[in-house]
Amino acid sequence: MSENMRTVALDDEPWDEEPPPYSSTTVTDPEAERKTGFNKAYLFSVEGALKLIEIVLSLIGFVAVLAGGWTGSGFVAWTTISAFITTTILFILVAMNIYSRLPGFWPLYELIYLLLYTLKYFISSIIGAVGAARLPSIVAACVICVVAFAIYLLDAIMAYKRLKAAREEQERKRAAGEGVANRRSETHFCIIF
């Protein structure tokens, strides 16, 4: 052992010759082991198709808002362009299998994101409906906001079902004792100076 390292036991009992035994479990997560690359199956799935529709609607809605320029168009423009950017990023993360390597519980994050944009598009469609009597571009923006609201709502319902299934899978693994890694029988740690 190096002079710069010393081992300290939390319970102040010195180790004899070897550290105390510990149980270690290595869990293989098949989703995390997937290679990063384009996932064609996601592109042709319902979830991927909804994301592509959301991206296209958000971009077209943003162009329609810019063409109209009415009172309240700032919120609608912000909603459409932020939805375009975040949905595109989310689509790339999932389509390229990058999300499986990132920390966090992604089904919950996606559900929160979808509920947030469902609410934003609902408010944007109301704002567009108030100003719809003025210009055809405002009517187009309002229609796009209503359709986008419906698509985001459908995607949020599907995300809720995926979240529920993921939580049930976690509970099943927890009940079976899977997913427990590096659990030690005694509490000891090493301090490096």
* pLDDT value for 187: 45
Main-chain dihedrals φ then ψ at residue 113, nearest 5 degrees: -60, -45
> Domain-by-domain residue ranges, the chain?
40-173
Indicate if the pLDDT at residue 79 is higher than 90. Answer: yes
State yes or no: pLDDT of 193 exceeds 90: no
Backbone φ and ψ for 181, nearest 5 degrees, come out as -120, 140
90-124 tens-digit pLDDT: 999 988 888 878 888 888 888 999 999 999 999 99
Average pLDDT of the chain to the nearest whole number: 78
At position 68, the amino acid (one-letter code) is G
177-191 pLDDT tens trace: 765 554 444 444 444
Give the C-alpha separation, 181 to 26, whole Å: 6
Give residue 190's pLDDT.
43
Q: Check whether 9 has a pLDDT greater than 70.
A: no
Total-model pTM: 0.69
pLDDT at 34: 54
Residue 66 or residue 32, greater confidence: 66
In this prediction, residue 5 has a pLDDT band, given cuts at 50, 70 and 90, of: low
